[in-house]
Every structure is written in structure tokens, then in C-alpha cells.
Structure 1
Amino acid sequence: MRSLSKFLLVPGLVLALIFGAYLALLPDGNALSKIIGSRCGLRAGQAAMAEPCLKVDRGAGYVVLRDRKGPHHYLLLPTQAISGMESATLLDPETPNYFWLAWENREFLSNAPRGINDDQVLLAINSRYGRSQRQLHIHISCMSADVRARLDALEHGLGAAWRPIGNGLKGNDYWVRRAGEDEIQRIGAFRLLSDSLPVAPSDMGRFSLAMTRARSDGFLILATRLSLFDLNLASAEELQDHTCGLERS
């Protein structure tokens, strides 16, 4: 029995070591929260705002950070603790419209030396399963050129109803719909997803959202859903190009 116990103990220890190494390689899930607390000058007695914090709006309750993934990649984060897509707070009409606030901060791209146009800007928020951080953050960056071309080909037939994108985007299934600027400001992208796809509040964390300006009128909202069978962790950030095409220029 002792030899059998030793035989079973060895693979157990190996698995424990492998799992421990895996956990050690995971990014700190509180890294963004720590940056907000230590670098954005929000606490009494703190030094002035410093990199990577670029903007603090105490009244609207958000900060903008520079992200290290590429030269044209920014993040908008609430100053209050909100985990992400799965948070019921996002469906409360009294909660700040973070997606619209992120769009209003596209100036960090449009004021860049290359002058990024609105129809090149894409906002994205990843699902609960497609992110590494425990603090809601909306990615502000450029759209991949191939994604823009696909949307241009589809746009003429798009309306207020969600429709699947044939053959998907970046190898994953997506839905898309058109929304007016008034809808985006009044209802917000999170509630448009929950109310009109429709998605149960308890299922929101399985979805990822993206938004861009339509070529003709209003905005295009895109959504993808977690599918382990298809190896889709629902990260609409995959539709972005954080270099804004610099490597092709």
C-alpha cells in the first residue's frame, strides 16, 4: 500500500506544480485597479496624475489610461469598482454611459499625428471569460482594415434588428446592428444588447461588445458570445489594430 501511495503521490505533485506555474504566469487581475488608485491622483494627498493615466474626470466618474499594447491603444475605466460585462450595474439607467464616454474620448486617436478618422475608431469590451482584469475597461483603438471592409460590404442592409454576420469576423461568430446616436446616448450599448438581442442579465458576462461609426448614418454595434466549442472566449478586442496600420505605412 505504501508503494502504491508513493506511486499516486508523484503525478499529483507534478500536476500541482504545473498548475502552480500556470497561476504564476497569469497577469495580476487587479493591475488596472491598482493603477487607478496609485497613479491617477484620485486620493487625497496623492501626487498629480502620472503615466499611464492621461485623463481623470471626477464628475463623470472615469479615467483614461494609455495601454502598452501598441502605440494607439487607450482604456476608459470607471473610477467606481465595476467588474465588467457581467455587472448588473451596467443595465441601471442611472449608471454613467461608459460606452458613449469612451466614444467621446476618441480624441486621443483623432489628435494623433496621423489624424485617425472616426470610421477607423473601434471601441471594444471583452467578456468575463476573454479578459484578464477584474475592473471594467473599454478599449479605444483602431479597427482592423479587413473588419472595416467586411462591415462596409454589409452596412447597406443593416437596421435596428441584430443580424448574424455570415462567416463571422476573425474566425468567430458575430451579430451586428445599426443604432442612432440618440439611441447610443439615451439607452447605451449595454442595454441595447440586453434588451434587443435579447440577452438575460445573468448571461451578459458571456458577451463581448464593440462599436464603431457607420459609413452612412449612426453607429454599428457588434456582439459575440462565449463558445468553448468554437474556442471563442468572446474578446471583441480581436477586431482592433492597436498600431492603426502603422506597420503597413
Structure 2
Amino acid sequence: MQGKKRAINVIALLLVVMVSGLALAAFHFHRNADALWQIVSEKCVPGQQQHANPAPCQQVDTAGGYVTLKDRNGPLQYLLLPVAKISGMESPQLLNPDTPNFFLLAWQHRHLLAAKRAAPVADSAISLTINAQYGRTQNQLHVHISCLRRDIRQQLDQLAPSLTERWQAQTLLRHPYLLRTLTPEQLAQEAVFIRLASEVPAARTQMGQYGMALATLPDGRLVLMAVERNWLKLNRGSAEEIQDHDCEILQQGNEYLNVFSGNTRVK
């Protein structure tokens, strides 16, 4: 009798997960998932080419293959998007070495936060993220350039001595992540998408299931994070969860206002 009850509970749980997954997928497709692409292709790029005015984007670099755009969510959050139509993590274009290195470009544009704030923003407070295929609402690749959650900053600082260039499992915000370190030179040498596909078993054929994030460590290294979608655990693979678009980490009295910025302290 008890075994039958347990089986019923398992089936009920699976049904809940399936319904939740379908609801998330329906929400994903119901919204205007091409809104960002329309902004890039119908406003920013034509405006720059025809009138030397990238608005509403901050910058259009057709030679570099990207634009930057202030996100409506948060006082400092920016997006970096391709000029070309690239849907997201699942796109085979991201595994082509000739595709622009979007995470590198996003990291190079972290200064946008300081410019918008009109005050320095330490690298320790900044993060980059991209969400998995069903952990996003837009079907144009976009890298979020925003503040890191304060609790994630503290956790990464604690983990730093044990992190290496080998992927290792860690739990962030109750979700299983894979973490590995990078030098700034390694970030420039190879796109993080190619690195994930090459180094994590089976990732190459399931790239759309992964979200990715990047932040700094106290010793100047970078930490690359990957989270895989898991419907059974209601995990959509949204790496953006490690970010705080309200930027609490920059509030007065926060110890992270004056901590490391790469190898330079920001005061």
C-alpha cells in the first residue's frame, strides 16, 4: 500500500514538472521573442548606417559584429548583442571560431556601468551572463552586463583558493553549476561557448540547455560558470540568477565598493 502511494506521489510530481515546463515554454513563445532582434535590425543598425545615430543602442560596431544596449531592467544593466541573427546558446554559429567572441566583447564593455553610474565600479561587482534556450524570453543572443549578487560574490571569494582550470561541480543558489578559472588571456584566445562544448562531456550536442556566467576572483583570475537546465528540479538554466540588477553590491557601506578591480583596487 505504501509503495503504491509512493508511486502515485512520484507520478503526481512528474505531472507537475511537465505542466510547469510546458507553461514556461508557452510563456517563452507567447511573448514577442524577437523584440531585441527588431531593435537591432530595424533601429540601431539602420540608424547608425543611415544617420550615424545608433539609438536606442549606445554603440553599433558592424565591423566587430555587435551592438550595446541599455536594458530597461536595472539602473546599470547593459546588453551586448550580435549584429547578425543568432538566436542564443543553441546556435551552431557560436561554435564557429570566426564568430565574434561575445563574452570577451561584453567584458571589454563593462566600463558602461561606471559611465552610467558616473562613478567607478569595481570589477568584483560586475558579472556577465547568458541564459539557456528556455531560460530566456528573447531569441536574439544577448549577454547581460550587470552587477553580481552580493551573496554570490562572497561565495566565489570563499571558493577561489580551490578553483582551478578544471571544471568542478559547485552549488550556487541551490542549483548545480560547473566552475573553472580563466586568465584574461584565455578569455581572449577562445570563446567560452567553444570551451564549454570542448571540455564538458555531451555539452556540444546540448548547448541550448546551458546558461553561462563570468565573474572575477580576488587574485585577478576570471571564473567561468555553467548551469544546465533540469526540468525535474525546476531549473531553467538561467545563469542570470547570479546577477542583481538593482546593484545592492554598490550601495554605500558595502565592503565590495573598495575591493579588487582586476589587480587594481578601486577606491
**What TM-score results when the alignment is normalised by the length of structure 1?**
0.85
Name the structure 1 match of 2:238. 235
When Rg is computed on C-alpha atoms for both structures, the one with the higher figure is 1
Name the structure 2 match of 1:140. 145
- Tell me the C-alpha RMSD between the 2 structures: 2.1
Name the structure 1 match of 2:40. 36
Deviation at 1:246, TM superposition (A): 7.3
Name the structure 2 match of 1:187. 190
**1:78-227 matches, cutoff 5 A:** 78-111=82-115, 112-165=117-170, 168-227=171-230
**What TM-score results when the alignment is normalised by the length of structure 2?**
0.79
**1:173 alignment partner AA:** P
Structure with more of its chain in helix, by fraction = 2
Q: In the alignment, is the contact (CA less than 8 A) between 1:110 and 1:118 conserved in 2?
A: no
Cα deviation digits, residues 155-208 of structure 1 (max 9, x gap): 00111111111xx21221111111111211111211111111234322000000
Deviation at 1:46, TM superposition (A): 5.7
Q: In the alignment, is the contact (CA less than 8 A) between 1:77 and 1:135 conserved in 2?
A: yes
- The aligned length equals 226
Deviation at 1:45, TM superposition (A): 3.9
**1:86 alignment partner AA:** E
Q: Distance in 2 between matches of 1:206 and 1:25?
A: 17
**1:241 alignment partner AA:** D
Unaligned segments of structure 2, at least 5 residues: 1-22, 253-267
| 175-184 or 143-152, which deviates more | 175-184
Unaligned segments of structure 1, at least 5 residues: 1-18
Q: Distance in 1 between matches of 2:184 and 2:40?
A: 30
Residue identity over aligned pairs, in percent, reads 37
Name the structure 2 match of 1:10. none
